[in-house]
Amino acid sequence: MSSIDQLFTKLRDEGRKALMPFITAGDPDLDFTEQLLRELDRRGCHLCELGIPYSDPIADGPVIQASYTRALGRGRRLAQILETVERVTPKVQAPLVTMVSYAIVYRHGLARYVDKARAAGVAGAIVPDLPVEEAGELAKICRDADFSLIQLVTPTTPRERAVRIAETSSGFLYYVSVAGITGERTELPPELVENVGWLREQTTLPLCVGFGISRPKHVKMLAPVADGIIVGSAIVRQIADAECRSRDAVLDGVGQYVSQLLTALK
């Protein structure tokens, strides 16, 4: 089993759910990214998502888009990011997955990307712009390498297509809570719990919910039906303050925030 499979098996046996923060690699720089990953792990987060900056992200809202722009403007590239990951993964317990555009994976070569990511200690990849019709080759490469390929199902995905996406995914299935782009929201759709419940009947994969989740009440709402809760924009927004506040203060602020979410998850 991959490290992600092992994580969710352990959590399921213990009756617990995963908190899964998202951060952007290289925002504001890779040294801070390394410190932040270690802080998130120290606070008890179960899995971390690391966004690979890309100039044309498919579903990211203004907060994450701005973080990608900042990182790219400072010359952050995949090779540097993987060097940082290789340094930090031996120091943390939480598996690390990349959120990466298929264009980046394709440009590097599917098998080559997976090999380089695995060598750095990455456990899997979320590929938001990979159509299910084109997922077969990458899915096979990932299966053979024990590297999780995580794909997205949205509220507007036709149900037959959602089942096909689940069949080519591994590690966990990423359920997008709201139609549209990432970003903090005050309320989540009332039909969200029902939609996740239906999807659970279609797959044995763990189901993790993201987009719009930012408050402890969101976590409490989803904990009974989801295996994992993904929080991104609310964290990335705090990191944007790293240039005008002390880095220790930003690290502590993010750490306290995820601790509140972890408490709500219990």
State the number of CA atoms in the 13 A half-sphere of 108 facing the CB. 17
**Which secondary-structure segment (H or E) carries 77?**
none
With b for 16 or more beta-carbon neighbours within 10 A and e for fewer, the 109-138 pattern comes to ebeebbebbbebbbbbbbbbbbebeebeeb
Radius of gyration of the chain (CA): 17
The pair of structure tokens assigned to 262 is 């972890």
Q: Distance (Å, rounded) from C-alpha 177 to C-alpha 155?
A: 7
Classify residue 45 as left (phi > 0), alpha (psi -120 to 50) or beta. Answer: beta
144 is catalytic: no
Alpha helices, DSSP H only, in 146-246?
159-167, 192-200, 216-222, 233-239
Candidates 29, 49, 184, 227; catalytic one: 49
Alpha helices, DSSP H only, in the chain?
3-14, 30-43, 62-73, 78-88, 102-108, 110-120, 136-145, 159-167, 192-200, 216-222, 233-239, 247-265
- Residues whose CB is less than 8 angstroms from the CB of residue 39 and which lie 6 or more positions away in sequence, other chains included: 251, 254, 255
49 is catalytic: yes
Candidates 29, 60, 184, 227; catalytic one: 60
Backbone angles phi, psi at 227, to 5 degrees: -90, -20
List active site positions. Answer: 49, 60
